[in-house]
Amino acid sequence: MDTQVSYYHLDDNSKRAYLAINQDRASSHMPGIVFLAGHGSDMMGSKAEALCTLAEEENIPFLRFDYFGHGQSDGQLLDGNLSVWLRDCTAMIDNLTSGPQILVGSSLGGWLMVLTALARKDRVAGLVGIAAAPDFTKDLIWDTLSAAQKEQMKQTGSIALPNPYADDDVIYPLHLIEDGNKHLVLGSTINLDIPVILHQGLKDEEVPWQTALRLSQQLAANDVQIILHKDTGHRFSEPGDIDQLQNSVRRLHARLRHR
């Protein structure tokens, strides 16, 4: 597997790390796949690796990259927000891919895949969400804080909350919440008419399974599937989970490829 990292320079000359394969095979009959990672994750995780394996085996164009402040890209995580990361997504798709794309978004990436699809309707042909977390800055962070915590966050500019995967707390800056409010999607119809598959674990303690239902209800598309995984948590990284993810992407790609 080719893991030679390349870098794309944005207009401000900051760089984003990416890995791309089979881009020369892209066409209207050969959609590409783009993986969008979760908050604090990078393009080297198990889900990204599994999709890269699928793309290599079936000669499908595939792109994965690190957002600003993530992985091997420039910037600090605490300086990033939805506007910055959405700019990354559109820039990478515009400049590193051609033809229709299937966006596969994990957690934060599930929010970004929706925003990117809205911003690039002519390029995005389908979506696959993995514990997709649209509006998480409001619904899963701000709205869960006490009045005292909200006031503290306003005074100090950030808040530290327990990290389920490490001893160190996760720090969320106030500007992330404020910027997230500009990109909320669950409060009105999401004007996308493309096939969507949403994978959601019922043992996910970070993104409740009801979020997948809310997202499906707000999407204008009728072709929306929700696949609930009874014993799966937020990371969605067990072998059975990965197999089902690959199967969903393979199935959706075959449908779009033969249109």
The set of catalytic residues is 107, 204, 234
State the pairing for strand pair 224-229/196-201.
parallel
CA distances from 235 to 199, 200, 241 (A): 11, 10, 10
| Cβ atoms 137, 148 nearer than 8 A | no
How far apart CA 118 and CA 123 sit, in angstroms, is 10
Give the other-Cβ count within 10 Å of 84's Cβ.
16
Q: How many CA atoms lie within 13 A of 206 on its CB side?
A: 25
DSSP 213-236: HHHHHHBS-S-EEEEEETT--SS-
Give the other-Cβ count within 10 Å of 22's Cβ.
17
